[in-house]
Amino acid sequence: MNPRFAGRRALVTGSSRGIGAGIAERLAAEGADVVITARTLGPGGHLPGSLEETAERLRAYGGTVEVVAADLTDEQARAGVVPRAQELLGGTIDILVNNAAAAIYQPLAGFPLRRHRLTFEANVHAPIALIQDVIPGMQAKGEGWIVNLSSATARLHSGPPFDLVEPGTAMAVYGASKAALNRITNGFGAELSGTGIRVNTVQPRAAVMSEGAQALIGETVRADQIEALEEMVEGTVALCDCPADITGRVCVSLDLIDDWKLTVRGLDGGAWTKA
């Protein structure tokens, strides 16, 4: 197994389950010391997966794995995440993966103000705050890797007629927040260019059927519209180890795999074959 992340400290948000847990596992499998954060500390939530369960799986790789339970939509709670992560890992963060997101799907005409505030709090304001918090340490070291997870729902639909797939306009607020995140990524990339800090976004080309996605859209997605978790993770970890001139980009996981001729591996870093 390639220990390419050995000696690096990583913070992965939204890592109690799904894509975040997969990214955290892959980083741990390849030698990183990892802090995972989410709201769900222990088992028994409304979806499978928890920080404690993810941490137990990651510790099998032999590195340091720590847990910080926090609600990133709460300004005070998220302000403590990076300082606590650095305290637990004994140094500044080298890799930040902003995966945590609020996905609330509802038609626009009746979308409550409190829900779109929550969506933008989780998907835009929290990543900005965490990036701001890790920048000083990365600047002091002269390098760092920041990866924000976005979504194809950020794209505009041309029309009329509008070619919408289920759940259609119900994804518009979520997509708008991800479009904002893409623009913020590009802005940070430009602002920090030349410092050694890379800031990029990656999104799946197709749906990754995590526990949350299964609950939201599981009945509406065809088999040919699904991307494997391992493929999304591969595209993400590639940006956790990219050269300094790869920054400010909005990338697509499967395109990265094709363009960079990446070999998709399992979450343990070993061989993987698509089913």
- The DSSP letter of residue 262 is P
Task: Supply 53's token pair.
Answer: 């369960």
Task: Supply 105's token pair.
Answer: 């799907």
Helix (H/G/I), strand (E/B), else coil: 81: helix
Residue 141: active-site member: no
Distances in Å between the Cα of 142 and the Cα atoms of 85, 194, 196, 260 are 20, 9, 5, 25
> What stretch of H or E contains 51?
helix 51-59
Residue 274: active-site member: no
Residue among 61, 105, 141, 174 flagged as catalytic: 174
Residue among 61, 105, 141, 178 flagged as catalytic: 178
∠ CA 73-175-79, rounded to 5°? 20
Distances in Å between the Cα of 217 and the Cα atoms of 41, 179, 227, 241, 254 are 25, 20, 14, 32, 21
Which ranges of 44-150 does DSSP label H, i.e. alpha helix? 51-59, 75-79, 81-89, 113-120, 126-141
Q: Give me the active site residues, please.
A: 174, 178
